[in-house]
Amino acid sequence: MVHRLFDYFIETYNPLKCTVYGSDQSLRISPQPNYAIGWLNYTREAKVAEIFARTGKTVPYRAGTLLKLGDDASVLSDPKIDAELKEIGEALWLPGVTR
């Protein structure tokens, strides 16, 4: 169901970014509050897509890039994913990426 809503939102509204994350992840997903990342992420921003691509888990999607870290929020209990989210979040802080 989440994937269908995600697809609908992107297809209907063509947003610059879209993120799905777990409810208990909301306070620790990214050190940068204006660009939260979760287990399912979409962006049309080229610099953000470059950072997402470093994970090796991206695919072209609609007019942008999709970064999918797992099939649902349960993947967030994996310490490797937490570390990956932290690394991505720190890269998003780099000058000129999202500010």
pTM of the model: 0.85
Q: What whole-number distance in Å separates Cα of residue 95 and Cα of residue 21? A: 25
CB 82 within 8 A of CB 76: yes
Host domain of residue 16: 2-92
In this predicted model, which residue has the larger pLDDT, 42 or 91?
A: 42
Instruction: Give the number of domains in the chain.
Output: 1
55 is a domain residue: yes
35 is a domain residue: yes
CB neighbourhood size of 34 (10 A): 8
List pLDDT tens digits, range 23-61: 766 555 555 556 778 889 999 999 999 999 999 999 999
97 is a domain residue: no
